[in-house]
Amino acid sequence: MKRILFLLSVIAVMLLPMAGVSAASSDFSERVSGMAEITAVRVNSGSDKIRIVVDASKPVRYTTMTLKNPDRVIVDIQGAWLSAKVKREIAVSSRFVNDIRIGQFNKNTVRLVVENKVGSSNYKIFPLKGGTVPGRVVLDFGNLSDSSKAVIAVPDVQQKPSTTGSSSVSTTKPTTPATSQTQESKPAVKPSDSSNTSSTQTTKPATTPVTKPSSPSSTEDIDGPAKEAAGTATDTGKDSSKNTGSNAGDTPAITDDTDADIAALTGLKGRKITIDAGHGGNDSGAIGPTGVMEKSVTLRIANELRRLLVADGATVYMTRTTDTEVSPKGANASDIEELQARCDVANNTKSDIFISIHMDSFSSGAAKGTTGYYYSLGSQRSRDLADKVRQGVIDQIGTQSRGTQSCNFYVVKHTDMPATLVEVAFISNPQEEQLLNSEEGIEKAAQGIADGIADYFG
C-alpha cells in the first residue's frame, strides 16, 4: 500500500510542471489574442541605401523617436508581440547602419532600434499593407533623394514622344555584368506602329492569405524608458514619438480605427494599372540554360501581380493573360505593331502607371541581378516608379541591384503615363533561372513589384 501511495505521489509531482506549462500557454494565448505577431525582420543592404522590413501578421500602428549618443531611430510597434523565431540582434555591414536590435519592450509593444550614421534627415519610415505579408513597416536609411546607381539628368517636364514610324525603336536591353553599360540584343521583341487597339481585360478583387502566430518570446529591455526619462530622446524634426503608422506624406496603415476609404486615397484603391507580360506567342524572349522561356516567367509573374493588386482595390488591365501576341494581327504583326498594341492597352484605358515585366539575359551565365528602366526623356515620376519597383523586387527575391537606368525601350517611350520596364533577374543565370521557375520565386517577384507600386503611390 505504501508503495502504491509513493508511486502516486511521484506521478503527481511529475504532472505539476506540465499543468503549469499548459496554464502558461493558455495565459499567453489569451494575452496575445487580437495582437499582431512580429514574424520577421528582413534586411537588404546596397551601395545607395539599406532597407529594413518588419513583417507582421496584421497591419500595425507604430510611433517613432530618436536617441543620441549613439544616434538611434526607435520604432515602437503597438499591440504586438515578438515571435521567438525572430533574431533579437542582426549584424549588418553598411555605411548607413551600425546595428539592428528588436525586443519585447513591454507586454503590448515591440521595439525596434536602429543604430545609424545618417543623421536626422536621410531616413524614411512607412507602412505597407496587403500581399502575402499582411502588415509591414519599412525603414530606409541612406541616399533617399536618388537610390539609382546611374547618374542621369532627368528633365522636369515630360517630353511626349512621337508615335510616327520614324521614331527609333529599341529592341535591345542593357545586360552586361557589373558596371558595363552596353546593350545586347534579345530574341525578337514584338512591337506595334499601328493604331489598332488591343482588347483589355479587367479583374475583380480576390482574397489575400494571412500568416499564423507562433510561440511567445521573453520580455527584453530595448533602450528602455530610463533613457527617455533622462531626457536623451530627441525630436529631430521627423516628429519624435509620432504617428500612428504613417509618416507625413506616407501611406497610412489600415487599422481598426482608421477609415479605410480615407487611407485608400493614398493607396491602391481606384488606381488604374496596366501590366505588360513581356514577349508571348511566337516570341519566346530569352531562354535559360535549362530551357525556361522568358515569356512563361513574365506571364506567371504578371498574373500573380494582378491578383495582389486587385486584392488591394486596384483596377488592373493586362496586355495578355495567356501565351499569345497582343496585336490583333497576331503572329503576322511587325515588331512595332506588337509593341504599340501593348502601349495602346495602357493609353486607351488612361492607366495611372504602366509596368512591363521582363527577364534579362547575357552570354555569360555569371551575369545576375535586377534592373529598373525608364524612358531617358521621360518624367521624374517614371524614374521614381522604376526605382521603387526595382527596390521592391530586390527586397523580396534578394537579387543584386544593377541600379535604375534610362533607356529608349518602345513600351516606356510610347506610353502616356509613368512607365517602367523591370528586368526581374537574369534567366541566363542558372540560379536565377531556377528561382524564377519556382512558385516561391514567382510569388516573391510579384510581391516585390506590388510593394514598389504601393511605395510609389504612397
pLDDT tens digits along 436-455: 999 999 999 999 999 999 88
Query: How confident is the model over 304-325, as pLDDT tens digits?
Result: 999 999 988 899 999 999 999 9
**Is pLDDT above 50 for 3?**
yes
CA 419 to chain centre: 17
pLDDT on residue 142 = 85
Give the residue from 172, 380, 203 showing the smallest Cα distance to 274.
203
Region 260-270: what's the mean pLDDT? 54
Phi then psi for 343, rounded to 5 degrees?
-65, -40
Q: Poorest-confidence range of 29-38, 45-54, 205-214, 343-352?
A: 205-214
Q: What integer pLDDT is reported at residue 405 of this predicted model? A: 94
Whether the pLDDT of residue 231 is over 70: the answer is no
Mean pLDDT of 134-142: 89
pLDDT of the residue at 91: 84
pLDDT band, residue 384 (cuts 50/70/90): very high
Q: Pull the grid cell for residue 19.
A: 499543468
193 within 8 A of 334, measured Cβ to Cβ: yes
Following DSSP, what letter does each residue of 162-206 receive, concatenated? P-STTS--B-EEE--STT---EEE-S----B-S-PPPP-------
**Nearest 5 degrees, angle CA 26-CA 32-CA 34?**
120
Q: Which of 300, 353, 310 is nearest to 202 (CA)?
A: 310
Q: Does residue 44 register a pLDDT over 90?
A: no
Average pLDDT, the chain: 75
Q: How many CA atoms are closer than 13 Å to the CA of 295, on its beta-carbon side? A: 20
Q: Are 188 and 283 in contact (CB under 8 A)?
A: yes
Q: 354 with 325: CB under 8 angstroms?
A: no
The model's pLDDT over 25-42, given as tens digits with 9 standing for 90+, comes to 566 577 777 899 999 999
pLDDT of residue 450: 93
Of residues 231 and 361, more confidently modeled: 361
Nearest to 404 by CA among 428, 426, 420: 420
Q: Say how far apart CA 236 and CA 281 lie, in whole Å.
A: 55
Percent of the chain predicted with pLDDT > 70: 65
Rg of the chain on CA atoms, in Å: 25
What the block records as the C-alpha cell of 16 is 505539476
C-alpha grid cell for residue 126?
Answer: 512607412
> Cα separation of 50 and 38, whole Å?
20
- Cis amide bond preceding 70, omega within 30: yes
Predicted pLDDT at 134 = 84
What angle separates helix 294-311 from helix 439-457, to the nearest 10 degrees? 50
Mean pLDDT of 102-128: 86
Sequence-ordered strand ranges (E) for 219-369: 233-234, 272-277, 315-318, 353-360
